[in-house]
Amino acid sequence: MPYPDRSIAIFIDYENVYYGLKKYHVDPDHPESRHNLFLRLLEHYGRTAVRMVEAYADFEVLNKEISMHSLQKKRVHIHQVYGNGRGGDERKNAADIQLCLDAMDLLHQVPELSTFVIVSADQDMVPLMDRLWTRGKRVELFCLQDESWSKTARMEDFCDEVHNLFDFLHIRQFQNLSQMDRMLHDALVQIYEWYDDPNNSGKSYGSSWIRKDMVKKFNLHEEEAASLFNKLVQGKYLEPYEITVDSNIYYGYRVNMEHPQVRKVLRIAGYRVVEGGRYTAVRAE
């Protein structure tokens, strides 16, 4: 449907979306436009229709993983919201609160806004969507509908339209990954990034260290880590790698860039895969 110029405000709970997509190795600011959240939103609504794109997160924490400059070039306004300093499931910030306050301010200050777009799977957005809708605004929700999607909150009842990010970002093939497949993808990216780290230049990532890191990073038992490592080797996702230091040979493994699934996983993770004799990947800016 056509939207009037400058009639749409987009509010992104960036931290919610970032970590939701990260499970599938998808960067919201992906180098390929068909997977890029911001470019897809502008394409979907039309650049002239979008008045503002607001993103909320503790960007100081995410700063090492994202390009702030890239977001700003896409007309995204950054809102720094500090977290509680904890990690994992205990991590929480006030991004959803700040987002709701700003949206309510705009509801009263900019009456020509006809459509409010919320990008989040946080059920705390329900009161905001309900308030906007009862004030006569069109409300559209973009969220990741996977196993974490709350069926009881029924967020779809509080907006005019719901968009599944799996479809919107063309990543449907990753929705039904088994737990083992996700861990396999996690391991491939982790091993690639180990070699990509300048601190590991001239080093070889040995099998015992890879398994130990899997136990620690993915919360696995030693037997599970061994099984995952064996699957990587048997599937030829990894290849043997050795280096010589002071006449000593050190053996390890690195990702097999000739494997099409490896290249696919790295592309989805936000790396630009290029061919130069052998395939390599570089982080896209």
Q: Is the pLDDT of residue 95 over 80?
A: yes
What pLDDT digit, counting tens, does each position of 183-204 carry? Answer: 888 899 999 999 988 899 888 9
Q: Is the pLDDT of residue 283 over 80?
A: no
Per the structure, the count of domains in the chain is 2
Whether residue 59 sits in one domain with residue 20: yes
Whether residue 275 sits in one domain with residue 225: yes
Q: Is residue 228 part of a domain?
A: yes
Whether residue 126 sits in one domain with residue 66: yes
Q: Is the pLDDT of residue 259 over 60?
A: yes
- Domain boundary among the residues 132, 155, 174 is at 174
What pLDDT digit, counting tens, does each position of 127-182 carry? Answer: 999 999 999 999 999 998 876 666 666 888 889 999 999 899 988 655 555 556 77
Q: Is the pLDDT of residue 284 over 70?
A: no
- Domain boundary among the residues 174, 194, 213 is at 174
Whether residue 157 sits in one domain with residue 195: no
Alpha carbon distance 45, 36 (integer Å): 14
DSSP string, 110-139: -TT--EEEEE---GGGHHHHHHHHHTT-EE
First to last CA, the chain: 33
Residue 88's pLDDT is 47
Q: Is residue 3 part of a domain?
A: no
Residue 186's pLDDT is 86
Q: Is residue 237 part of a domain?
A: yes
Whether residue 133 sits in one domain with residue 74: yes
Whether residue 194 sits in one domain with residue 154: no
Residue 277's pLDDT is 44
Q: Which domain holds residue 109?
A: 8-174
Report the CATH number that the domain containing residue 167 is assigned in CATH. Answer: 3.40.50.1010
Residue 94's pLDDT is 80
Whether residue 151 sits in one domain with residue 53: yes
Alpha carbon distance 192, 195 (integer Å): 6
What pLDDT digit, counting tens, does each position of 44-81 carry? Answer: 999 999 999 999 999 888 876 678 888 988 999 999 99
Residue 54's pLDDT is 97
Alpha carbon distance 184, 182 (integer Å): 5
Whether residue 109 sits in one domain with residue 133: yes
Report the CATH number that the domain containing residue 212 is assigned in CATH. Answer: 1.10.10.10
Whether residue 62 sits in one domain with residue 15: yes
Specify the higher pLDDT residue, 26 or 237.
237
Give the percent of the chain with pLDDT over 70: 86
Taking residues 121-131, report their average pLDDT: 90
Q: Is residue 112 part of a domain?
A: yes
Q: Is residue 163 part of a domain?
A: yes
Q: Is residue 1 part of a domain?
A: no
Query: What is each CA distance from 88 to 83, 84, 113, in whole angstroms?
Result: 12, 11, 36
Residue 8's pLDDT is 97
Residue 178's pLDDT is 54
SS3 label, residue 79? strand
Whether residue 147 sits in one domain with residue 76: yes
Q: Enter the tokens of residue 35.
A: 């997977």
Q: At what angle do helices 207-218 and 222-234 cross, to 10 degrees?
A: 120
User: How big is the CA angle at 57 (ends 187 and 35), to the nearest 5 degrees?
Assistant: 55
- Domain boundary among the residues 159, 174, 189 is at 174
Alpha carbon distance 66, 59 (integer Å): 9
